[in-house]
Amino acid sequence: MAHYLHRSFSNDQTLFVLHGLRLENHSQPEHDGSPGVCQIDHLLVHRFGFFIIECKSVTGEIEVRSDGSDGDEWARIYRNKKTGIPSPIRQARRQADILRTLLQSYREELLGRHSFGFRTMAKVVHGTDQRGFKNAPIQILIAISDQGNIKRLGGWEAPSSPFRVYVSKADLIPDKVVKEVQKHNKGSKAVNKKIYGEYGLWSMEESEAPLVAAFLAEQHLSRPHRTMSAGRRPAGAVCKYCGSEYLIFQKRAKKNYSDYWKCQKCQKNTPISSR
């Protein structure tokens, strides 16, 4: 995915790409009280918002279906064995929540105030004329390995409101990004906003987008945050499924079972003995 993004946007002065971005937010703690942490595979910053790209390495087949209540259920099929996996769309939405809250807490440093003509209205509606990130579009794209196959069961379609979620092969993702940015550009200039819905309603100044991207790069945790419990330390352990170092100690509820590490990226379990 990084290769495709570099090839498509390395010379684009309006779109900024951050890879493997790990963010921490103390205002959104985990269940054990540690700071909320998210790892975004790829984050794209542009004048009209953000794109979160969640990657899934698949050499077999991915199935996705509706759960019957506006949700989505995912399964991975490899060598004729089907295994359920967490919804990458929900994962990306949790990442978006942490990203938005973090940016909003630094809005005064990152964004200026509303233009003079809108300041009074902004104060009446929001109580302040300071611009913020509450309404910033954070769009989600799920990238599947080029070798994988996506099977949408029962006519499943990705969410489309207020912005479309894309689930596609990695090589097609840059085209989806370009298409969405064009919608925002057209929406920002349109007289009849109803045609474009929420596209183009929120934006940054051209000079603000690179500053926001640089700010997020500075917020990146250079070393993964590791939660420790009962005096136990990872001691170099990594998830045997995805290689992540962000592990949380878990104690087995039943006797005759070993304690294990819970991976906070793929949500799978790794025995304590694994290194």
What pLDDT, in 10s, does the model give residues 69-127?
889 999 999 888 999 999 999 999 999 999 999 999 999 999 988 665 555 554 544 55
Whether the per-residue pLDDT at 224 is higher than 90: the answer is: no
* pLDDT of 203 higher than 90: yes
Write 232-236 long-range contacts (CB < 8 A, 24+).
Answer: 232/259, 232/272, 234/261, 235/275, 236/275
| First and final C-alpha spacing in the chain | 27
At residue 25 the predicted structure's pLDDT band, cuts being 50, 70 and 90, is: confident
Amino acid at 93: R
Q: Are 126 and 179 in contact (CB under 8 A)?
A: no
Q: Which two tokens stand for residue 47?
A: 């004048």
| H-helix or E-strand spanning residue 104 | helix 88-105
| Sign for the pseudo-dihedral over CA of 77, 52, 186, 129 | positive
Looking at residue 268, what is its pLDDT? 78
Mean pLDDT of 127-132: 75
DSSP for 117-185, written as a single string: HHHHHHHHHHS--B--STT--EEEEEEE-TT-EEEEGGG-----SSS--EEEEGGGHHHHHHHHHHHHH
CB atoms within 10 A of CB 13: 9
Kindly report the backbone phi and psi dihedral angles of residue 265, in degrees, each rounded to the nearest multiple of 5, phi listed first: -100, -50
CA pair distance 130, 5, nearest whole angstrom: 33
Model confidence at 219: pLDDT above 50: yes
Asked if the bond preceding 234 is cis, omega within 30° of 0, the reply is: no
How confident is the model at residue 225, as a pLDDT?
A: 37
Q: Which two tokens stand for residue 121?
A: 């209205």
- Name the DSSP class of 195: G
User: Are 204 and 139 a contacting pair, CB within 8 Å?
Assistant: no
The whole model's pTM is what? 0.76
Q: Report which of residues 228 and 105 the model is more confident about.
A: 105
Residue 30, pLDDT score: 77
Q: Which amino acid is at 123?
A: K
Residue 33's pLDDT is what?
Answer: 77
Question: Residue 93: in which H helix or E strand, if any?
Answer: helix 88-105
* Range among 25-39, 94-108, 188-202, 256-270 rated most confident: 94-108
Are 142 and 152 in contact by the 8 Å Cβ rule? The answer is: no
Mean pLDDT of 133-145: 96
> Higher model confidence: residue 223 or residue 159?
159
